[in-house]
Amino acid sequence: QVWSGNKGTLTLDGNIHKTNVVYPDTGAEMTIAEAAAAKKPKYMVITLGVNGVAYATETQFKAYYGKLITAIKQASPDTRIILQSIFPVSESYDQKGGKLCNANIDIANGWIMQIASEHGCKYLDTASVLKNDSGAMIALYDNGDGIHMTADAYRAVLQYIRTHGYTD
């Protein structure tokens, strides 16, 4: 299942642990921790942080993620959490000169790896299957805006999760 906000994606900020998602089983809105408590998933893959790269400091980024992980673990202690890397942006998007660029994404992915280690979660470098030789998003995976991806890109990510996630 995919749990997302009522407006689509979720933003990694100081309220992420309080942010509501639409729970697919009922259509009700609840926090991610409440959804974890209701579903008790064996595994949970978290994909967050691309917007946080543009505005959060390292300390803030790690604190936001940590609050969410702690809330999920309290709500569903047996759920095994996987933190997924932030996906790269296209070369054209990267060259716009903003804070949301592949160099900063790579730095944030290092933070996510640290967070995973500190909180007993698994880290998956799914970004690696999406990058070309220069570290930007493979052109065929760009849906045209430089940041969002095609269905083929998501299939590649899902295959990576299946082959590199928990295998038990």
The pTM assigned to this predicted structure is: 0.92
Three-state secondary structure call for residue 27: coil
Task: Record the tokens describing residue 14, joined without a space.
Answer: 């100081």
pLDDT digits (tens, 9 = 90+) for 53-103: 888 899 999 999 999 999 999 999 999 999 999 999 999 998 888 899 999
pLDDT at 95: 87
pLDDT at 53: 86
> Do 23 and 68 touch, CB atoms closer than 8 A?
no
pLDDT digits (tens, 9 = 90+) for 132-155: 999 999 999 999 999 999 999 999
> Do 84 and 45 touch, CB atoms closer than 8 A?
yes
Among 161, 167, 164, 146, which residue's Cα sits nearest to residue 47?
161
Amino acid at 92: S
pLDDT at 6: 66
Q: Which residue has the tokens 């994909």?
A: 47
